[in-house]
């Protein structure tokens, strides 16, 4: 068995989990929601094994590096982080319905990694400058931050959907099973704080790594530039909440805006701009 087969099983598990969570949203069946959680957790377990196996496979061919360096590997790792952050949220706050708004991101990421012509799934050696233990620290911290921002996006969509329905649907419509607005707003805030702290760690470890590899902490590479733009956006969201008291719809819209900024920082820079981070 190779890692690609396990990644395929993971993708199937995430797609089925997404279907179950959407079933929970539409039909309010607790059993199907529980099945969605079990599928997401099982998928995450297989996903973990697949990442470990791919790492082992790199040693078998004499490369020996963490599976985090090209776009294919970073995308499947991104999906893993999204799932783990979501599951932690579900277990901590008992909000299973959030899976309907978050697990589609993980499922789409795995499907894109598996089927896109742009993805090169070959295990390739690293250039000398990237052969550093800071690689793991930098990528892990950045992607946990990214994943939390994606979860915040899903929560933002949930908030706007709930707010737009108002009291029209009561407890019987699609939005009737969603948490109260103040609960969703609090979850958005907590998730953004969590992501902001991890992403800040990612920028710091990246700067240290850059100094070790190229002799400078910051070079205004396109990825670095857009990373700091992303950081400032979420810093402004937190600042607006703490000092201006922004809540509710404003924060939900900003969380959704953050998704597009993260998407460009992660994908757009790689495909549209050239720089040191063009591979992943």
- % of the chain at pLDDT higher than 70: 94
Confidence of residue 172 (pLDDT cuts 50, 70, 90): low
Say if 8 falls within a structural domain.
yes
Taking the C-alpha atoms of residue 127 and residue 125, their distance in angstroms, rounded to an integer, is 7
Confidence of residue 62 (pLDDT cuts 50, 70, 90): confident
**Looking at the structure, do residues 7 and 60 belong to the same domain, yes or no?**
yes
The two structure tokens encoding residue 186: 């609090």
pLDDT greater than 90 at residue 233? yes
Report the chain's mean pLDDT, rounded to a whole number: 90
Mean pLDDT of 211-227: 84
Say if 26 falls within a structural domain.
yes
Say if 131 falls within a structural domain.
no
**Looking at the structure, do residues 194 and 261 belong to the same domain, yes or no?**
yes
**Looking at the structure, do residues 280 and 147 belong to the same domain, yes or no?**
yes
pTM: 0.93
What is the pLDDT, as a whole number, of residue 191?
98
The tally of domains found in the chain comes to 2
**Looking at the structure, do residues 120 and 143 belong to the same domain, yes or no?**
no
What CATH code is carried by the domain that includes residue 118?
1.20.120
- Lowest mean pLDDT, pick from 72-86, 158-172, 240-254: 158-172
Taking the C-alpha atoms of residue 3 and residue 75, their distance in angstroms, rounded to an integer, is 14
Domain coverage including residue 22: 1-126
**Looking at the structure, do residues 66 and 89 belong to the same domain, yes or no?**
yes
**Looking at the structure, do residues 141 and 24 belong to the same domain, yes or no?**
no
**Looking at the structure, do residues 106 and 24 belong to the same domain, yes or no?**
yes
pLDDT greater than 80 at residue 201? yes
SS3 of residue 46 by DSSP? helix
**Looking at the structure, do residues 84 and 143 belong to the same domain, yes or no?**
no
CA-closest candidate to residue 274, choices 223, 217, 219, 206: 223
Note the pLDDT tens digit of each residue in 66-88: 888 888 999 999 999 999 999 99
Mean pLDDT of 216-227: 86
Taking the C-alpha atoms of residue 83 and residue 80, their distance in angstroms, rounded to an integer, is 5
Taking the C-alpha atoms of residue 60 and residue 133, their distance in angstroms, rounded to an integer, is 20
**Looking at the structure, do residues 144 and 186 belong to the same domain, yes or no?**
yes
**Looking at the structure, do residues 116 and 158 belong to the same domain, yes or no?**
no
pLDDT greater than 70 at residue 280? no
């Amino acid at each position: 068995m190779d890692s690609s087969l396990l990644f395929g099983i993971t993708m199937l598990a995430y797609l089925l989990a997404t279907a179950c969570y959407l079933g929970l949203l539409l039909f309010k069946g607790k059993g199907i929601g529980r099945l969605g959680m079990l599928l997401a957790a099982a998928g995450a377990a297989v996903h973990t094994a697949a990442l470990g196996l791919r790492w082992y496979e790199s040693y078998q061919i004499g490369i020996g590096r963490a599976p985090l360096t090209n776009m294919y590997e970073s995308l499947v790792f991104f999906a893993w982080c999204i799932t783990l952050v979501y599951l932690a949220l579900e277990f901590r706050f008992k909000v299973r319905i959030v899976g309907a708004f978050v697990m589609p991101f993980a499922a789409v990421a795995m499907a894109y990694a598996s089927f896109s012509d742009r993805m090169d799934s070959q295990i390739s050696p690293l250039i000398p400058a990237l052969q550093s233990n800071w690689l793991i620290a930098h990528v892990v911290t950045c992607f946990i931050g990214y994943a939390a921002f994606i979860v915040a996006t899903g929560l933002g969509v949930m908030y706007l959907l709930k707010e737009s329905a108002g009291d029209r649907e009561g407890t019987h419509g699609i939005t009737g099973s969603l948490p109260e607005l103040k609960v969703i707003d609090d979850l958005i805030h907590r998730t953004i704080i969590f992501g902001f702290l991890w992403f800040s760690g990612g920028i710091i470890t990246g700067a240290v790594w850059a100094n070790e590899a190229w002799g400078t902490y910051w070079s205004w590479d396109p990825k670095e530039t857009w990373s700091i733009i992303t950081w400032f956006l979420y810093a402004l969201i937190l600042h607006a909440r703490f000092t201006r008291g922004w809540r509710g719809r404003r924060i939900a819209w900003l969380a959704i805006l953050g998704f597009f900024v993260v998407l460009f920082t992660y994908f757009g820079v790689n495909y549209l701009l050239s720089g040191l981070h063009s591979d992943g």
